[in-house]
Amino acid sequence: MKKKLLALAICLGGVSPYANAEVTYQDILLDPDNIELNRQFIELKIASGDLPPALSAVERIIQLQPLNIGARILRARLLISLGNFATAKTELEALDFYSLPSTQASEVNELLVRVESSMSRWKTTGFVSLTVNYDNNVGSITETGKLADTAGVLSGTSFDSEGFSTKRSDTALGITASVSTFYDIGSQTNDNVYIQVTGQKTSGDDSKLKDLHSSGLTIGTNLNTVSYRTNTFVKFDKLHRNTVKDRSAIPVKRDDIKTITAGTQVSRQLDNTNLQFGYDFSIADFSGRSLSDDSDSKTHSLSMGLFSLVNPSTALFSGIGYQQRRADDRSSATAMSAQDRNVSRLNVGITSIFAEAHRVTSSVSIRDLRYKKLLSGVDQFVRDDRETTLSLAYRFNAGSISENLLGWSFNATVTRVENNSNMASYDITNNLVTLGVTYEF
């Protein structure tokens, strides 16, 4: 939408959209009837995502040139982006009376259909995604293939749940579906309540360690003011991991996990930078094995992030986070040793769109995981891990090829996750490649 707005703004005149990036609101106040100055101001504000001032400048141009159809279509698009559908509909219906060129007439009709759909208080969106995932260490075998004893000596062998002691690669097929329904509560700031339902199923090839299915339900509300947007939610997740068999064909039951999370996320737009702050509290309930209760935990999480637009096609993003997890059973030394930990996180990345349909995103994330108690009889030290994740993702928008492919995209991601611990028993590296096709509706 932003690229379409920018293209329309450029069509209002003939100068490069960055030729006069220094235009300010003070410049406009000094010469409000200068159409070229207003046009450059519009381009600058659209590029930075600051749409209300851009709308005001477009309306100044329309006052000076009432028959400027391009400006009036741009006004309608800006109104739609700002959620002012009723006014946008009035503008588009007025334009529909003109004998417009076929291209503009088609655009007006398309926008009218979109406005009428958006004016319904109920709105439903969703996606379906099919993926193929390759993991070169599906069993999370340690780098040495060994486990250290309480003296730090590499004496034990690292086994996975299927009884293998060597690294194995595997390919898993997956399907994910998600549907979100929003209800507009009728405020001037486009507030809504929503329900989101998500389901996922994966199935491995040689190994069954990736055989699982999960479901999730989120209920929340989006409340907006002039400066802030707030999303408050409650989320219910359930994960079932299929029972596997070891090399002796003995069934090995794996934990099922139920999680309840309540949280809030607040964001604020400052020029071309969006700031986000978040807090959530979650309770995890493990079941299925005799020792499952030792994994039950409660977690508090804080996060802060920013997304900064460098230009209309490139943005930088970063974030920091802190998480405190504690075992639910405070009378069990094993539970507290395994679950009590504090986690600090730092991530940075860049995303860029080129040739309109291609998006490349690269990022690095570092997590510092500090456990609070010694796992007696197993570890030499209190566990201290540093996890580094490198990711490179590519997305192709198939709608750029044909309108019949609108909503379809192809995705590819390459990821390396490396965990370096103060004990060799937890030094684990995974390299993953994921290919997928997604349809959004």
For 261-290, what is each residue's pLDDT tens digit? Answer: 999 999 998 988 999 999 999 999 999 988
Q: How far apart are CA 88 and CA 377, in angstroms?
A: 69
With a CB cutoff of 8 Å and minimum separation 6, the contacts of 37 are 20, 23, 27, 28, 31
**Cα(213)–Cα(234) distance, rounded to whole angstroms?**
21
Q: pLDDT class for 48, splitting at 50, 70, 90?
A: confident
User: Are 183 and 58 in a shared domain?
Assistant: no
- In this predicted structure, what is the pLDDT of residue 227? 84
Same domain for 293 and 233: yes
Cα 371–chain centre separation: 28
Q: How many CB atoms lie within 10 A of CB 25?
A: 12
Give ∠ CA 203-359-413 in degrees, rounded to 5: 25
- pTM (two decimals): 0.75
pLDDT at position 403 is 81
Residues 276 and 166 reside in one and the same domain: yes
Given its phi and psi angles, is residue 356 left (phi above 0), alpha (psi -120 to 50 degrees) or beta? left
**CA 71/CA 62 separation, integer angstroms:** 7
Among 118, 136, 168, the domain boundary falls at 118
Domain end marker among 85, 118, 151? 118
> What's the average model confidence in pLDDT over 421-428?
95
Separation between Cα atoms, residue 180 and residue 440, nearest integer Å = 11
The answer to whether 359 and 394 are in contact (CB under 8 A) is yes
pLDDT value of residue 182:
93
Please say which residue of 68, 91, 118 terminates a domain. 118
Contacts of 21 (CB under 8 A, 6+ apart): 44
Express each pLDDT in 152-175 by its tens digit.
Answer: 898 888 888 888 989 999 999 999
CATH number of the domain enclosing 102: 1.25.40.10
Least confident of 5-9, 38-42, 158-162: 5-9
Expressed as residue numbers, the domain containing 433 is 122-440
List of residues 6+ apart from 348 with CB closer than 8 A = 316, 317, 318, 363, 364
> Based on the domain organization, do 126 and 216 belong to the same domain?
yes
Half-sphere exposure of 185 (CA within 13 A, CB side): 11
Question: Region 187-207: what's the mean pLDDT?
Answer: 90
**Is the model's pLDDT at 2 over the cut of 80?**
no
The tally of CA atoms less than 13 A away on the side-chain side of residue 281 is: 0
82: pLDDT strictly greater than 50: yes
What is the model's pLDDT at position 189?
66
Query: Taking 50 as the threshold, does the pLDDT of residue 17 lie above it?
Result: no
Same domain, 413 and 301: yes
Are 140 and 46 members of one domain? no
Task: Please indicate, yes or no, whether residues 114 and 178 belong to a single structural domain of this protein.
Answer: no
Structure tokens at 262: 């309540």
φ, ψ at 401 (rounded to 5°): -85, -45
- List residues bridging with 123 in a β-sheet: 182
pLDDT for position 4: 59
The percentage of the chain sitting over the pLDDT mark of 90, rounded to a whole number, equals: 60
Per-residue pLDDT, 370: 98
Q: Are residues 172 and 320 both part of a single domain? A: yes
Give the per-residue pLDDT at 151: 87
Pair 171, 99 in one domain:
no
Residue 249 has a pLDDT of 86
Q: In terms of domains, do 103 and 141 share one? A: no
Cβ pair 239, 200 in contact under 8 A? no
Examine the domain organization and report whether 174 and 57 are in the same domain.
Answer: no
Q: Which two tokens stand for residue 371?
A: 């456990």
In whole numbers, what is the pLDDT of the chain averaged over residues? 90
Q: Could you give the residue ranges of the DSSP H alpha helices within 65-158?
A: 69-81, 85-95, 102-118
Q: With contact defined as beta carbons under 8 Å apart, do 334 and 375 qualify?
A: yes
CA separation for the pair 9, 126 (Å, rounded)? 31
Q: Write down the pLDDT at residue 113.
A: 87
Contact 49, 5 (CB under 8 A): no
Number of structural domains in the chain: 2
For 44-58, 221-235, 325-339, which range has the lowest pLDDT when averaged over its residues? 44-58
Give the mean model confidence (pLDDT) for residues 230-240.
Answer: 98
Report yes or no: 78 and 51 within 8 Å, Cβ to Cβ. yes
CATH code for position 279: 2.40.160.40
Q: Are 63 and 145 in the same domain?
A: no
Nearest CA to 208 out of 247, 235, 181, 175 is that of 247
* Residue range 104-153, pLDDT digits in tens: 888 899 899 888 877 778 889 999 999 999 999 999 999 999 998 888 89
Residue 1: exposure state from Cβ atoms within 10 A (0-12, 13-18, ≥19): exposed
